[in-house]
Amino acid sequence: MDNTFAANLRRIRKERSITQEQLAEAVGVSAQAVSKWEISGYPDAGLLPDIADKLGVTIDELYGRTHEDKSLYLRIIEHIQSFPPDKQISEMVNMCYAMPQACMGVHDYSPIDSYILKAEDWSNFSQYITRTGMLEMRNNASLHYFLMLPEPEKGYDDVLRYDENMVKLFAFLAVPNALRAVYMLMGYDCMTFFKRETITDKLGITEKNAQEILDRMNELGFLLDTVLNDGKKEEHIYYFRVGNLFVEFLTFTWLLLHQPDNFNYQTNNRGGRRYFKNETYKVKKNEEKTD
Protein backbone atom coordinates (compact mmCIF):
# COMPACT_ATOMS: atom_id res chain seq x y z
CA MET A 1 0.00 0.00 0.00
CA ASP A 2 1.28 3.49 -0.82
CA ASN A 3 2.32 5.64 2.08
CA THR A 4 1.29 9.30 2.03
CA PHE A 5 4.76 10.57 1.20
CA ALA A 6 5.21 8.16 -1.70
CA ALA A 7 1.81 8.97 -3.20
CA ASN A 8 2.34 12.74 -2.86
CA LEU A 9 5.85 12.60 -4.30
CA ARG A 10 4.68 10.64 -7.32
CA ARG A 11 1.66 12.88 -7.90
CA ILE A 12 3.49 16.20 -7.51
CA ARG A 13 6.42 15.10 -9.68
CA LYS A 14 4.04 14.13 -12.51
CA GLU A 15 2.03 17.34 -12.14
CA ARG A 16 5.26 19.31 -12.59
CA SER A 17 6.25 17.20 -15.63
CA ILE A 18 9.52 16.29 -13.93
CA THR A 19 10.99 12.85 -14.66
CA GLN A 20 12.42 10.55 -12.01
CA GLU A 21 15.82 11.05 -13.64
CA GLN A 22 15.56 14.85 -13.42
CA LEU A 23 14.57 14.73 -9.76
CA ALA A 24 17.35 12.25 -9.02
CA GLU A 25 19.95 14.47 -10.68
CA ALA A 26 18.73 17.54 -8.76
CA VAL A 27 19.16 15.86 -5.36
CA GLY A 28 22.22 13.73 -6.17
CA VAL A 29 20.80 10.21 -6.11
CA SER A 30 19.96 7.52 -8.64
CA ALA A 31 16.68 7.28 -10.53
CA GLN A 32 16.20 3.91 -8.84
CA ALA A 33 16.23 5.65 -5.46
CA VAL A 34 13.48 8.03 -6.56
CA SER A 35 11.47 5.09 -7.89
CA LYS A 36 11.81 3.37 -4.52
CA TRP A 37 10.61 6.51 -2.69
CA GLU A 38 7.52 6.60 -4.89
CA ILE A 39 6.62 3.01 -4.03
CA SER A 40 7.12 2.72 -0.30
CA GLY A 41 10.43 4.18 0.86
CA TYR A 42 11.60 7.46 2.34
CA PRO A 43 14.63 9.62 1.45
CA ASP A 44 17.21 10.70 3.99
CA ALA A 45 15.96 13.71 5.93
CA GLY A 46 18.83 15.82 4.60
CA LEU A 47 17.51 15.41 1.03
CA LEU A 48 14.02 16.72 1.76
CA PRO A 49 14.80 20.45 1.26
CA ASP A 50 16.34 19.76 -2.16
CA ILE A 51 13.41 17.54 -3.17
CA ALA A 52 10.91 20.19 -2.09
CA ASP A 53 12.83 22.95 -3.89
CA LYS A 54 13.00 20.98 -7.13
CA LEU A 55 9.26 20.27 -7.02
CA GLY A 56 8.35 23.80 -5.89
CA VAL A 57 6.46 22.69 -2.78
CA THR A 58 6.96 22.69 0.98
CA ILE A 59 8.15 19.67 2.94
CA ASP A 60 4.79 19.72 4.72
CA GLU A 61 3.04 19.28 1.36
CA LEU A 62 5.20 16.26 0.55
CA TYR A 63 3.89 14.63 3.72
CA GLY A 64 0.32 15.69 3.06
CA ARG A 65 0.12 18.21 5.85
CA THR A 66 -2.30 21.02 5.02
CA HIS A 67 -3.15 24.30 6.69
CA GLU A 68 -6.93 24.43 6.93
CA ASP A 69 -6.80 27.89 8.48
CA LYS A 70 -5.58 29.37 5.20
CA SER A 71 -8.19 30.96 2.97
CA LEU A 72 -8.98 29.36 -0.37
CA TYR A 73 -7.52 32.37 -2.17
CA LEU A 74 -4.24 32.16 -0.29
CA ARG A 75 -4.03 28.46 -1.10
CA ILE A 76 -4.60 29.28 -4.79
CA ILE A 77 -1.78 31.83 -4.68
CA GLU A 78 0.56 29.35 -3.05
CA HIS A 79 -0.47 26.63 -5.49
CA ILE A 80 0.31 28.76 -8.56
CA GLN A 81 3.57 29.99 -7.03
CA SER A 82 4.64 26.40 -6.45
CA PHE A 83 5.08 25.99 -10.22
CA PRO A 84 8.05 27.37 -12.15
CA PRO A 85 7.17 30.48 -14.19
CA ASP A 86 7.08 28.60 -17.49
CA LYS A 87 4.43 26.22 -16.08
CA GLN A 88 2.18 28.71 -14.30
CA ILE A 89 0.02 29.70 -17.30
CA SER A 90 -0.70 26.05 -18.21
CA GLU A 91 -1.69 25.30 -14.62
CA MET A 92 -4.00 28.33 -14.55
CA VAL A 93 -5.64 27.01 -17.73
CA ASN A 94 -6.35 23.77 -15.88
CA MET A 95 -7.84 25.73 -12.98
CA CYS A 96 -10.01 27.72 -15.38
CA TYR A 97 -11.21 24.48 -16.97
CA ALA A 98 -12.49 23.39 -13.56
CA MET A 99 -14.79 26.42 -13.26
CA PRO A 100 -17.46 25.48 -15.85
CA GLN A 101 -17.32 21.91 -14.52
CA ALA A 102 -18.18 23.24 -11.07
CA CYS A 103 -21.08 25.24 -12.51
CA MET A 104 -22.42 22.08 -14.19
CA GLY A 105 -22.46 20.17 -10.91
CA VAL A 106 -19.43 17.97 -11.68
CA HIS A 107 -17.91 16.54 -8.49
CA ASP A 108 -14.65 15.12 -9.85
CA TYR A 109 -12.31 17.26 -11.96
CA SER A 110 -11.61 15.99 -15.46
CA PRO A 111 -8.57 17.43 -17.29
CA ILE A 112 -8.85 18.55 -20.90
CA ASP A 113 -8.71 15.44 -23.10
CA SER A 114 -5.56 15.08 -25.17
CA TYR A 115 -7.54 14.71 -28.41
CA ILE A 116 -9.11 18.12 -27.75
CA LEU A 117 -5.76 19.72 -26.95
CA LYS A 118 -4.24 18.40 -30.17
CA ALA A 119 -7.19 19.14 -32.47
CA GLU A 120 -6.30 21.56 -35.26
CA ASP A 121 -9.24 21.35 -37.67
CA TRP A 122 -12.08 21.89 -35.17
CA SER A 123 -12.64 23.80 -31.95
CA ASN A 124 -13.97 22.81 -28.55
CA PHE A 125 -15.38 25.22 -25.96
CA SER A 126 -16.75 25.41 -22.43
CA GLN A 127 -19.50 27.95 -21.80
CA TYR A 128 -21.62 29.02 -18.85
CA ILE A 129 -24.09 31.89 -19.33
CA THR A 130 -26.49 33.15 -16.68
CA ARG A 131 -28.43 36.30 -15.86
CA THR A 132 -25.46 37.52 -13.80
CA GLY A 133 -22.71 37.11 -16.37
CA MET A 134 -20.86 34.78 -18.70
CA LEU A 135 -17.88 32.46 -18.71
CA GLU A 136 -16.36 30.98 -21.85
CA MET A 137 -13.11 29.30 -22.82
CA ARG A 138 -11.63 27.58 -25.86
CA ASN A 139 -10.03 24.31 -24.86
CA ASN A 140 -7.71 23.62 -27.80
CA ALA A 141 -4.02 24.05 -27.04
CA SER A 142 -3.53 25.87 -30.35
CA LEU A 143 -5.48 28.81 -28.92
CA HIS A 144 -6.53 28.68 -25.29
CA TYR A 145 -8.49 31.62 -23.98
CA PHE A 146 -10.59 32.20 -20.87
CA LEU A 147 -13.16 34.99 -20.60
CA MET A 148 -15.27 35.77 -17.56
CA LEU A 149 -17.57 38.81 -17.68
CA PRO A 150 -19.80 39.44 -14.67
CA GLU A 151 -22.87 41.48 -15.67
CA PRO A 152 -22.50 45.11 -14.55
CA GLU A 153 -25.52 46.48 -12.75
CA LYS A 154 -26.10 49.03 -15.53
CA GLY A 155 -25.46 46.57 -18.35
CA TYR A 156 -22.43 45.72 -20.46
CA ASP A 157 -22.87 48.80 -22.61
CA ASP A 158 -22.55 51.10 -19.60
CA VAL A 159 -18.82 50.96 -20.36
CA LEU A 160 -18.87 49.21 -23.75
CA ARG A 161 -21.13 51.93 -25.09
CA TYR A 162 -21.33 53.00 -28.72
CA ASP A 163 -18.24 55.09 -29.40
CA GLU A 164 -17.21 56.88 -32.59
CA ASN A 165 -13.62 55.90 -31.82
CA MET A 166 -14.67 52.32 -32.55
CA VAL A 167 -15.86 53.53 -35.94
CA LYS A 168 -12.40 55.04 -36.47
CA LEU A 169 -10.78 51.74 -35.50
CA PHE A 170 -12.78 49.74 -38.03
CA ALA A 171 -12.25 52.44 -40.66
CA PHE A 172 -8.51 52.15 -40.05
CA LEU A 173 -8.61 48.37 -40.49
CA ALA A 174 -10.42 48.92 -43.81
CA VAL A 175 -7.53 51.02 -45.16
CA PRO A 176 -5.65 48.99 -47.79
CA ASN A 177 -2.72 47.11 -46.19
CA ALA A 178 -3.44 48.46 -42.69
CA LEU A 179 -4.05 45.03 -41.17
CA ARG A 180 -0.98 43.67 -42.96
CA ALA A 181 1.06 46.49 -41.42
CA VAL A 182 -0.21 45.64 -37.92
CA TYR A 183 0.67 41.97 -38.37
CA MET A 184 4.12 42.97 -39.58
CA LEU A 185 4.73 45.25 -36.60
CA MET A 186 3.51 42.58 -34.18
CA GLY A 187 6.35 40.43 -35.50
CA TYR A 188 9.02 42.86 -34.30
CA ASP A 189 10.61 42.95 -30.88
CA CYS A 190 8.40 45.00 -28.56
CA MET A 191 11.11 47.66 -28.14
CA THR A 192 11.74 48.20 -31.87
CA PHE A 193 11.48 51.65 -33.44
CA PHE A 194 10.83 51.88 -37.18
CA LYS A 195 10.56 54.36 -40.05
CA ARG A 196 7.89 54.83 -42.68
CA GLU A 197 10.27 53.22 -45.16
CA THR A 198 10.11 50.03 -43.08
CA ILE A 199 6.46 49.63 -44.01
CA THR A 200 6.87 50.59 -47.66
CA ASP A 201 9.80 48.20 -48.13
CA LYS A 202 8.40 45.24 -46.18
CA LEU A 203 4.88 45.44 -47.64
CA GLY A 204 5.75 46.78 -51.08
CA ILE A 205 3.27 49.66 -50.82
CA THR A 206 3.41 53.34 -51.74
CA GLU A 207 4.65 56.06 -49.38
CA LYS A 208 1.16 57.63 -49.52
CA ASN A 209 -0.48 54.38 -48.38
CA ALA A 210 2.13 53.89 -45.63
CA GLN A 211 1.72 57.45 -44.38
CA GLU A 212 -2.08 57.11 -44.21
CA ILE A 213 -1.66 53.93 -42.14
CA LEU A 214 0.77 55.71 -39.79
CA ASP A 215 -1.42 58.79 -39.46
CA ARG A 216 -4.48 56.72 -38.57
CA MET A 217 -2.49 54.61 -36.10
CA ASN A 218 -1.24 57.78 -34.49
CA GLU A 219 -4.77 59.18 -34.25
CA LEU A 220 -5.91 56.00 -32.49
CA GLY A 221 -2.99 56.11 -30.05
CA PHE A 222 -1.36 52.97 -31.44
CA LEU A 223 1.96 54.70 -32.07
CA LEU A 224 4.57 56.75 -30.30
CA ASP A 225 5.62 59.27 -32.94
CA THR A 226 8.94 60.97 -32.25
CA VAL A 227 11.65 62.80 -34.19
CA LEU A 228 15.21 61.59 -34.63
CA ASN A 229 17.78 64.36 -35.15
CA ASP A 230 21.25 63.19 -36.20
CA GLY A 231 22.60 66.75 -36.40
CA LYS A 232 22.02 66.95 -40.14
CA LYS A 233 18.34 66.25 -40.58
CA GLU A 234 15.23 65.33 -38.71
CA GLU A 235 13.05 62.34 -39.49
CA HIS A 236 10.08 60.68 -37.86
CA ILE A 237 10.52 57.32 -36.16
CA TYR A 238 7.71 55.30 -34.65
CA TYR A 239 7.12 52.84 -31.86
CA PHE A 240 4.15 50.45 -32.05
CA ARG A 241 2.68 50.41 -28.55
CA VAL A 242 -0.31 48.03 -28.81
CA GLY A 243 1.48 44.73 -28.16
CA ASN A 244 -0.53 42.10 -26.27
CA LEU A 245 -3.76 44.10 -26.64
CA PHE A 246 -3.87 43.38 -30.36
CA VAL A 247 -3.36 39.66 -29.72
CA GLU A 248 -6.39 39.82 -27.44
CA PHE A 249 -8.35 41.81 -30.01
CA LEU A 250 -7.55 39.29 -32.74
CA THR A 251 -8.49 36.39 -30.47
CA PHE A 252 -12.05 37.63 -30.07
CA THR A 253 -12.24 38.78 -33.68
CA TRP A 254 -11.35 35.20 -34.62
CA LEU A 255 -14.03 33.97 -32.22
CA LEU A 256 -16.67 36.19 -33.82
CA LEU A 257 -15.77 34.72 -37.22
CA HIS A 258 -15.67 31.13 -35.88
CA GLN A 259 -18.59 31.06 -33.47
CA PRO A 260 -18.61 28.23 -30.89
CA ASP A 261 -20.73 25.22 -31.78
CA ASN A 262 -18.87 22.32 -30.12
CA PHE A 263 -18.90 22.24 -26.33
CA ASN A 264 -17.50 20.01 -23.63
CA TYR A 265 -19.55 21.87 -20.99
CA GLN A 266 -22.28 24.30 -21.95
CA THR A 267 -25.40 25.87 -20.51
CA ASN A 268 -27.32 29.09 -21.08
CA ASN A 269 -29.64 30.20 -18.29
CA ARG A 270 -29.93 33.83 -19.36
CA GLY A 271 -33.66 33.51 -19.93
CA GLY A 272 -33.89 36.03 -22.76
CA ARG A 273 -32.27 38.82 -20.76
CA ARG A 274 -30.80 41.37 -23.19
CA TYR A 275 -27.07 42.15 -23.12
CA PHE A 276 -27.27 45.89 -23.85
CA LYS A 277 -29.65 48.06 -21.83
CA ASN A 278 -28.79 51.67 -22.52
CA GLU A 279 -29.39 52.11 -26.27
CA THR A 280 -26.25 54.19 -26.62
CA TYR A 281 -26.45 53.85 -30.40
CA LYS A 282 -29.31 56.33 -30.57
CA VAL A 283 -28.56 59.78 -31.93
CA LYS A 284 -29.14 62.56 -29.43
CA LYS A 285 -31.69 65.21 -30.35
CA ASN A 286 -29.08 67.95 -30.70
CA GLU A 287 -26.91 65.80 -33.01
CA GLU A 288 -27.39 65.16 -36.66
CA LYS A 289 -27.17 61.62 -37.98
CA THR A 290 -24.61 61.18 -40.76
CA ASP A 291 -24.63 58.47 -43.40
Percent of the chain with pLDDT over 70: 95
Quick one: which of 161, 149, 151, 135 has its CA closest to 279?
Answer: 161
The overall average pLDDT reported for the chain is 89
Question: Would you place residue 285 in the very low, low, confident or very high pLDDT band (cuts 50, 70, 90)?
Answer: low
Distance CA 249, CA 245 (A): 6
In this prediction, residues 279-288 reach a mean pLDDT of 72
- What are the residue boundaries of the structural domains of the chain, listed by start? 4-81, 164-245
Residue 102, phi then psi, degrees to nearest 5: -60, -40
Asked if 243 and 222 count as a contact pair (C-beta separation under 8 A), the reply is no
The average pLDDT across 27-49 equals 89
Output the pLDDT for position 109. Answer: 87
- pLDDT for the residue 288: 55
The mean per-residue pLDDT over the stretch 40-45 comes to 85
Cβ(239)–Cβ(193) under 8 Å?
A: yes
Q: Summarize the confidence of residues 217-242 as an average pLDDT.
A: 90
- With a cut of 70, say whether residue 291 has pLDDT above it: no
pTM for this prediction:
0.71
Which listed CATH number (1.10.3720.10, 3.20.20.10, 3.40.50.300, 1.10.10.10) goes with 164-245?
Answer: 1.10.10.10
* Domain 4-81 = CATH 1.10.260.40: yes
Least confident of 40-44, 50-54, 211-215, 287-291: 287-291
Q: Average pLDDT of 240-252?
A: 92
Cβ proximity of 240 and 185 under 8 Å:
yes
Q: Are both 4-81 and 164-245 of the same fold?
A: no
* Confidence category of residue 217, pLDDT binned at 50, 70, 90: very high
The whole-number pLDDT of residue 166 equals 93
> Which of the residue ranges 59-63, 142-146, 201-205, 219-223 would you say has the lowest mean pLDDT?
59-63
Are 48 and 62 a contacting pair, CB within 8 Å? Answer: yes
Confidence of residue 2 (pLDDT cuts 50, 70, 90): very low
pLDDT of residue 127: 95
Over residues 252-263, the mean pLDDT reads: 94
On the question of pLDDT at 1 being above 60, the answer is no
